[in-house]
Amino acid sequence: MTRKLGNTRLVIATHNAGKLKEIAALLAPYGVDCVSAGELGLPEPEETGTTFVENALLKAHAAAKAANLPALADDSGLSVVALDGRPGVYTADWAERQWFEGPAGRDWFMAMGKVEGLLCEQGADVDRSCWFSCVLAIAWPDGEEAVYDGRSNGTITWPPRGKMGFGYDPIFVPEGHDMTFAELAPDDKHKISHRANAFAKLVAEQFAG
């Protein structure tokens, strides 16, 4: 039987304010008090996994051990059919600035431009279908864990549109819609996103009944 979180304080293993806001909103109806790893001053572990599951578990266990609290980690990414599934697990790496490109940090416009540039190299008729993947991992300080996954299919658009969301959201048009994730109101995005799909499985197991 899967261990239950209950009404507890939960560390969200992220330093990304947008991701924290989205996850906290999804958990709010269940009485979970969320605090980010960034707010607690926890270091970001190196993501050495080669799959979303490996990286999510790595981050969740690191945060749970450091904070001595249950921790939830998300590892998600964009996979583009015409790019053989890239950037995939290396989604965030594509946004990393090099030292000669300015201050350290992530430049998501640069990352989106890299995706678009590689697609343009393949011509005007290139397949722009893609999908977002999300893996949510819960870890407890004693080492117990649980994993949930979700997916959202869509297409790449250019130029970027919208100011909500984060990451690659401004170029991702979800299947069945004509607005990007960054144009959709947060409540509407939460109903259809890859993260929402993974959360639906988490909620069904953790909070049902």
Quote the CA–CA distance of 194 and 151 in Å, as a whole number: 4
Cβ of 143: how many Cβ atoms within 10 Å? 9
Whether residue 82 contacts residue 126, with contact meaning beta carbons closer than 8 Å, is answered with yes
- Told to judge if 75 belongs to the known catalytic residues of this protein, a careful annotator would answer yes
Nearest to 137 by CA among 26, 23, 39, 55: 55
Q: Which amino acid is at 24?
A: A
Which of 33, 74, 75, 125 is flagged as catalytic?
75
Kindly provide the b/e burial profile for residues 185-195, where b requires at least 16 CB atoms within 10 angstroms of the residue's own CB: eeeebeebbbb
Whether residue 204 contacts residue 150, with contact meaning beta carbons closer than 8 Å, is answered with no
Quote the CA–CA distance of 13 and 106 in Å, as a whole number: 18
Kindly provide the b/e burial profile for residues 29-65, where b requires at least 16 CB atoms within 10 angstroms of the residue's own CB: eeebebbbbeeeebeebebeeeebebbbbbbbbbbbb
Tell whether the torsion through CA atoms of 56, 59, 65 and 67 is positive or negative.
negative
Q: Which residues are catalytic?
A: 75
